[in-house]
Amino acid sequence: MAAKPPSAPSTPAARPAGRAAARRPTKEATPKIRLGSADSQALIQSNQKVMALEQKARELSDQPMPGETVGDKIDDASITTQVKYALLSHKGTSALKTKVTTVDGVIVISGEAASDAEKSLVTKLAEDVRGTKSVVNNMTVKS
């Protein structure tokens, strides 16, 4: 009986470089969002808001408001970012349906809440951010 030839190595590290290079790259796992779905519309609106905010930031970056220092602008932006992060991190809130602005440490929140509990939670999360002087929650509760 003739001996079988050794089989090709199965691990990527053991394969010859030429063979590994010839393989097609694997697709990375990316979430698929169907066009026209509520998720795709929310994502598009969110991206549009981000682009508008980036444009506005570029316009205002060199022009502090009267009586405002660069540090004040950074503090307000930091507060807004921390509130948005808190909303994104908490599964009981919808950051996509919530607009947050901060002026002199006063956070103004608007948008749509699914319930009174969500509206209260958003207020509490905003109040817990360091540097917050007060929170004005103008969210409407979805009926």
d(CA 110, CA 89): 18
Task: Enter the pTM of the model.
Answer: 0.51
108-128 pLDDT, tens digit per residue, is 999 999 999 999 999 999 999
Q: For the domain covering 69-143, report its CATH number.
A: 3.30.1340.30
The amino acid present at 75, given as its one-letter code, is D
The domain limits of the chain are 69-143
Secondary structure (3-state) at 69 = coil
Q: Tokens for 137, please give them.
A: 């929650």
Average pLDDT over the chain reads 76
Q: Is the pLDDT of residue 3 over 90?
A: no
